[in-house]
Amino acid sequence: MKPAVAVVICLFGLFLFVPDYGVQLASSLLGIVIITGLVSSRYTARGLKVVRRDRVIRVYKNQHIHIELNVENHSIFSQEYLYISDEYGPLFGGEGSKKMIALKPGERTRVCYELDARERGGFTVGPLTVRGSDVFGFFPWVAVVKETTEVIVYPALHPVELLIEEGLAAGNLLISDPLYEDLTRYRSIRDYMPGDELRRIHWKVSARMGCLQTKEFLPTYYYGVFIVLNLSCAAYSIRMRSTRMERAIETAAALVMFSLERGQNVGLVSNGIDSATGSCLSCPIREGHGHSVTLLEGLARVGPIDHDWEGLVKEGIDLPFGTRIFYVGPPMEEALLSLFISRWGKERQVDFFHIQTEAAGTGTGVSASALAAGRYRCFTVRDYGEEMIDV
């Protein structure tokens, strides 16, 4: 801008002190052009407004992220060439994040593009850089719009079908009140009674017996669920370590959603580090949709730790009576397993969801005597695919 001001002063001097009509006309016209360019360049940049549709976007891993921007020209000058460039960090895609647009005075346009959520975690889209010029193209300008969009990518979510087929895997207590019937725990067949829901009619048995038969289920009182997620690098073999740790996080997310969809309270603890707090991930047992968002955001941000078992056996967490424990991670060595059982499994039911590993010296996870007594169940988590649990 300073050289342009100097040029304007020189032209003004020529207009005043050179007694030639041609020079005066040329200097005045050139001065008007320069002053108009300066004014339009400055006020067009100030009059440009960019609004992001979403401040926070939450998606699951492998889904698309839709970014939408509204660009408005509040100045009195037309902009024929505006180049916008949006930053999206380590996310993938972004075709359309760099675009050339034109805006008339008071006009607004919408800019949309897609990103791919290939990695779990928290990301930032923005800031937006806008490049333009005055009406004559003499004075280019650059404006940076600092408004950003926070993108939270949850772990990929898969159904846990095995638990549904074999009954409710969370803690429960059998009661006699039919108001609390558990639709995942089949009991018997009885004759149809007026008022029974059509979805509870067992059509195959009804066809075989020649009269309508209704399914009955065991009434239960729901206890809470507490998920213990092992993200210690030392527990995983080097081969496929990152893939299997990600699978463990996906398993924990699937168990969270499975339990919450059935009306149960859920909590979670992990020895992994929450990048937002810099400490071990820990969420108390609560209920509701808002709590599920908190749990999934924690699982989106959690990362591995080199060697720390504290999150698996630490004291100071009081669990309600009857809480069931879900352990997610590689099989534990015998000493750690004994410590874990003494801390979490005393007078509680524990289900082990074992991530595969080739690490030397790892144990089988649960002793044969405990399995024989039917107190603990073990499931093997597959490395790939929608089917998470190995039958």
Q: Is 106 left (phi over 0), alpha (psi -120 to 50) or beta?
A: left
**Per residue in 197-220, pLDDT tens?**
777 788 888 888 888 888 776 555
Which residue is listed with tokens 């209920």? 287
Tokens of 143: 């404006």
**What does CATH list as the number for 223-390?**
3.40.50
Which is more confidently placed, 160 or 82? 82
Query: Sorting pLDDT into bands at 50, 70 and 90, what band is 87?
Result: very high
Contact in structure between 84 and 112 (CB atoms under 8 Å) = no
Which residue is listed with tokens 């005075």? 105
CA 334 to CA 367: how far, in whole Å? 9
CA 262 to CA 187: how far, in whole Å? 18
Beta bridge partners of 325: 226, 350
Burial class (CB in 10 A: 0-12, 13-18, 19+), 95: exposed
Q: Terminal CA-to-CA distance of the chain, rounded, Å?
A: 73
CATH match for 47-154 among 3.20.10.10, 1.10.760.10, 2.60.40.1180, 2.60.40.10 = 2.60.40.10
Q: In this structure, are strands 121-125 and 149-154 parallel, antiparallel, or unpaired?
A: antiparallel
Contacts with 137 (C-beta within 8 Å, 6 or more apart), sequence order: none
Which residue is listed with tokens 């580090």? 273
Q: What mean pLDDT comes out for the span 118-138?
A: 88
Tokens of 247: 């699978």
CA 132 to CA 81: how far, in whole Å? 6
Diameter of the chain measured on Cα atoms: 117
Identify whether 219 is preceded by a cis peptide bond (ω within 30 of 0): no
Contact in structure between 330 and 235 (CB atoms under 8 Å) = yes
Q: Write down the pTM of the prediction.
A: 0.75
- Provide the mean pLDDT of the chain: 80
pLDDT of residue 164: 38
Q: Name the residue among 350, 302, 301 with its Cα closest to residue 323.
A: 350
Contact in structure between 150 and 54 (CB atoms under 8 Å) = no
Q: Using the predicted structure, report yes or no on whether residue 345 has a pLDDT greater than 70.
A: yes
3-state secondary structure of 175: coil
Q: At what angle do helices 2-17 and 21-47 cross, to 10 degrees?
A: 150
pLDDT of residue 252: 95
3-state secondary structure of 224: coil
For residue 364, give Cα distances in angstroms to 11, 303, 368: 89, 25, 9
**Per residue in 211-270, pLDDT tens?**
888 877 655 556 788 999 999 998 898 889 999 999 999 999 999 988 887 778 899 999
Radius of gyration of the chain (CA): 32
3-state secondary structure of 101: strand
Q: Using the predicted structure, report yes or no on whether residue 368 has a pLDDT greater than 80.
A: no
CA 349 to CA 169: how far, in whole Å? 10
Report the length, in residues, of the chain: 391
Evaluate the CA torsion angle 252, 253, 254, 259 in order and state its sign: positive
Q: Using the predicted structure, report yes or no on whether residue 16 has a pLDDT greater than 70.
A: no
pLDDT of residue 167: 38
pLDDT of residue 169: 43
Kindly compute the dihedral angle of the four CA atoms of residues 259, 260, 264, 267, in this order, to the nearest 10 degrees. 80
pLDDT of residue 184: 53
Q: Name the residue among 364, 229, 346 with its Cα closest to residue 299.
A: 229
Contacts with 341 (C-beta within 8 Å, 6 or more apart), sequence order: 350, 370
